[in-house]
A and B are shown apart, each in its own frame.
Chain A
């Protein structure tokens, strides 16, 4: 009950506000799976792309964090081929920074910020991180190619 009530509250809020570039909708009645879309931030290689994400809400939400992954292919140092995202906020303490006061919206904002500023110090894709640091132009070109190809 707690999970459902809280999620319906979160969704109602998301529906009422124009959170920049974020949109979430449930895929089933009990809010176990949701789909989100975020737009690529302006002035980045992901600009004008629309990225689909899948949010899986655990039974113990909000005491355990949801898991979120990209369904759209994306070229990014912190996101791997299968769409997994390396984000501290989505891991339980003491290793991660999840807290029950964080909601779906905050996580999606954080993910969108990760697109804006990748974190190559803690990469999931070592090659891409290397490229991002050393040959940034090449990285940008490839990321833009992926965006054109998959995120339209």
Chain B
């Protein structure tokens, strides 16, 4: 009786069946994360015979047979323990890390984290304890979301790390991984506080200008391409950490239209002053009375290429860049991505001069040229 109870406690997935004379033990042995189906017969003379074990490793099977042959009168638990030892020693992937301690630690960190930060808007831990999604509201009620992943197979100092950080700059200068979830998130929060003026002006631009690019701005985008008129736009790039500095301005459009904007920009270049607000300063810099608003686009049915889109790939963004080559022929002025027009000109064996290639525009067949790409 005792033995049956012990068996249930130690090997809960093994059942015993009484046949005519023999006892049959069948079920599953759990070893790390792996299951092994097993079936053992105990004969009346107290010897054991292995009927089945789902391993292809012949050494293990041989070892078990040898063991069973010379160890009569053992209890079933002793036998199973021994088999488990053989499996552990010989199965190639038996060195699976036991993650239960790590799981506990992650849960502990997580609960500490949720208690520490009171301004979390949403916070969730995935069922497999590998992903934490957090969103918070900043002082202007803007939502910032981030995803933190848990890595169980590295050293402790890098357990928690950011999947992607929605903060401006190629490589935001913050703690990227840590053994403490709270410390990691604190770094992120610190940056958000520091960047409040930057988020303010970007929101202002989004509100008052017609933004062509990025299509759906996110917090990390520190440039905006704004619509100035049919065929002309300006890309304004802001330094996120020095928002009072004059932003970088680049115009896009046919040169005859861009020229006037360039002249105005040059005149106002040295007068940059953002005392009365960034938006107003940009307006003065561009020499605008107000930011032009583009009327709602008509639902474009039947137009294959809309204004500003590349006439080769038919889209606005390629590698996330808007078309940057414009046909110089005044009556054409079609837009192309450098990569698209370059590839077409190359396929026609067009002439290369230094770093430029020129050939005929696919639309008007007049001469067009673009920089050579690698």
Is B362 interfacial (CB 8 A cutoff)? yes
> Interface digits, B290-332 against A, CB 8 Å rule (1 contact, 0 not)?
0000000000011111000001111100100000000000000
Known contacts A63-B344, A64-B347, A5 near B313 by CB under 8 Å: yes
Is A48 interfacial (CB 8 A cutoff)? no
Interface of B is mostly: loop
The answer on a CB contact under 8 Å between B314 and A10 is yes
Chain A nearest CB from B302 CB (Å) reads 5
The answer on a CB contact under 8 Å between A5 and B302 is no
Q: Tell me the complex Cα distance, A103–B312, Å.
A: 10
Is B215 interfacial (CB 8 A cutoff)? no
Instruction: Count residues of A near B (Cβ-Cβ below 8 Å).
Output: 20
Residue in A17, A94, A99, A105 whose CB lies within 8 Å of B362: A99
Report B-chain residues with C-beta under 8 Å of the C-beta of A63: 343-344, 347
Q: Tell me the complex Cα distance, A80–B347, Å.
A: 29
Q: Tell me the complex Cα distance, A5–B339, Å.
A: 15
* Contacts between chains A and B (CB distance < 8 A), count: 48
The answer on a CB contact under 8 Å between B313 and A101 is no
Residue in A2, A9, A60, A92 whose CB lies within 8 Å of B304: A9
Is A13 interfacial (CB 8 A cutoff)? yes
Report B-chain residues with C-beta under 8 Å of the C-beta of A9: 304, 314-315
Q: Tell me the complex Cα distance, A13–B303, Å.
A: 7
> Interface digits, A1-26 against B, CB 8 Å rule (1 contact, 0 not)?
01001100110010011000000000
Is A62 interfacial (CB 8 A cutoff)? yes
- For the complex of A and B, 10 pairs with smallest distance between CB atoms: A99-B362, A17-B302, A100-B312, A9-B314, A16-B301, A101-B362, A6-B314, A101-B311, A2-B313, A63-B347
Question: Measuring CB to CB, which residues of chain A are less than 8 angstroms from any residue of chain B?
Answer: 2, 5-6, 9-10, 13, 16-17, 60, 62-64, 92-94, 99-101, 103, 105
Question: Measuring CB to CB, which residues of chain B are less than 8 angstroms from any residue of chain A?
Answer: 301-305, 311-315, 318, 334, 340, 343-344, 347-348, 362-363
Q: A5-B314, A6-B313, A62-B312 are in contact. List 17 more A-B contacts (CB 8 A).
A: A2-B313, A5-B313, A9-B314, A13-B303, A16-B301, A17-B302, A63-B343, A63-B347, A92-B347, A94-B348, A100-B311, A100-B312, A100-B340, A100-B344, A101-B334, A101-B363, A103-B304
